[in-house]
Structure 1
Amino acid sequence: MTTQPPTVVLVDDHALFRAGVRAELEQGDGHATVLGEAGDVDEAVRLVLDREPDVVLLDVHMPGGGGVEVLRRVHERRPGQRFLALSVSDEPADVIALIRAGARGYVTKTISGTELVDALGRVRAGDAVFSPRLAGFVLDAFAGRLEEAGLAQGEVDPELDQLTDREREVLRLIARGYLYKEVALRLSISPKTVEHHVSAVLRKLQLSNRHELTRWAAERRLVD
């Protein structure tokens, strides 16, 4: 049985680069089918939700909030969408930001056409794909998150892992009994932003109120 080529939406703010990638992906049989291209965040979100590709090939930096914003907005409506970051940047901060936002992999623009096609197929199948040098950044970052959470290697908590770093900070402070205004002062953000983060934490953890949140945190030894 012949496997259909993966369907792809290209998201990059450089039209010339998109054209080159599209030509590379569509040459010959069995490569990839490009369903469309987008050059900014709003256009990307609309296109991905409309075309529902197997994989979104996503740049990090672009007008309107960048790749992280595309991931956030698409996953609100289509949580199963798979993303592969493709960027000129190999900065650890960019790599980790995209992975924490939900990308399944991150490769740099030095990748060959054949390697890129292979990466798209693997991401469609559910694998995580990284350029060799970048894999270490991800391993180091997530090892740090385990240590921060007081967990040993092999004891990953999938519920905790879905929270962002800021949401984890807010979670710990709220669980320790701080008021929204006190959390805001400690983190140099507004009380409204604290409220937004608490709502996100409650939603992700499927909790109803801060009392349940405090109990949840205590059970995982996240508070003293």
Structure 2
Amino acid sequence: MFRAGVRASLDPALVQIVGEADTVDSAVERVHALRPPVVLLDVHLPGGNGGGGAEVLQRCADLTGDVRFLALSVSDAAEDVVAVIRAGARGYVTKAISGPDLSAAVVQVSGGDAVFSPRLAGFVLDAFGTGAADVAVHDDELDRLSAREQEVMRLIARGFTYREVASELFISIKTVETHVSAVLRKLQLSSRHELTRWAAQRRLL
């Protein structure tokens, strides 16, 4: 019933629905199969190992940059918001949102923007603001990267695909791949998801 309500409220002129899922496992399977630009993710999705939306994000971490996630929940609790944002969601809205606003939020996330219901943005700023003390300590990590690597790093951390980075910086996709590999190696990170978290903690996004 809830999914039917969401489906009916989205503006078909702005949002095309390509699939649905009702459990963590089915969501992970469908996201990998369909690779939609945006996944509207229920924070408390049942199934899996009980991790809800955050578990879906963790199990889809290999798609970071190609698929963006917008969390949707009846909860506006700080711990829920922070958990899914740390897991990689690009935004978080509550189920009180109107159909037009939800449609607009999907479009914004698709374009690479972060979207939050107004009172939730403070939770995110507070949570990631705790990394401020780390910035001075870890500035030497950023210094390991060349100017071009830093440009690539910021775009990848913001959720750009390799193709989008190549277009933005007027370089080849192969060159982007080379820079990303160098960035991950120099920062001792293993994935783009970890890179996004690293950049967010240092307010580099």
Is the 2:14–2:107 Cα contact (8 Å) retained in structure 1?
no
Higher gyration radius (CA): 1
SS of 1:35's equivalent? Answer: coil
Aligned counterparts of 1:155 and 1:141: Cα–Cα separation in 2: 23
**Which residue identity does 1:35 align to in structure 2?**
V
SS in structure 1 opposite 2:20?
strand
Moved over 3 A (4+): 154-159, 202-208
Give, in angstroms, the shift of residue 36 of structure 1: 1.1
Alpha-carbon separation, structure 2, partners of 1:42 and 1:82: 18
TM-score (norm 2): 0.64
Q: Structure 1 90/203 Cα, relative in aligned 2: closer, same or farther at 3 Å?
A: farther
Task: Identify unmatched segments of 5+ residues in structure 1.
Answer: 1-15, 163-201, 209-224
Shift of 1:106: 0.3
What letter is aligned with 2:188?
Answer: Q
Name the counterpart of 1:135: 121
> What is the TM-score of this pair, normalised by structure 1?
0.59
Higher relative contact order (CA 8 A, sep 6+): 2
Partner of 2:93: 107
2:6 corresponds to which residue? 21
| TM superposition shift of 1:22 | 0.6
1:115-194 alignment, distance < 5 Å:
115-147=101-133, 149=134, 151=136
The size of the alignment, in residue pairs, is 147
Match of 1:39 among 6, 22, 31: 22
Q: Does residue 1:53 correspond to 2:53, yes or no?
A: no
Question: Which residue of 62, 66, 72 corresponds with 2:58?
Answer: 72
The one-letter amino acid paired with 2:41 is: L
Distance 2:39 2:31 in 1: 7
Partner Cα separation in structure 2 for residue 132 and residue 156 of structure 1? 33
Counterpart CA distance in 1 for 2:141 and 2:103 is 31
How far is 1:151 from its partner? 3.4
Instruction: Return closer, same or farther for 1:207/1:97 CA change in 2, 3 Å cut-off.
Output: closer
Deviations 1:15-39 (A, max 9, x none): x10111011115xx51311111111
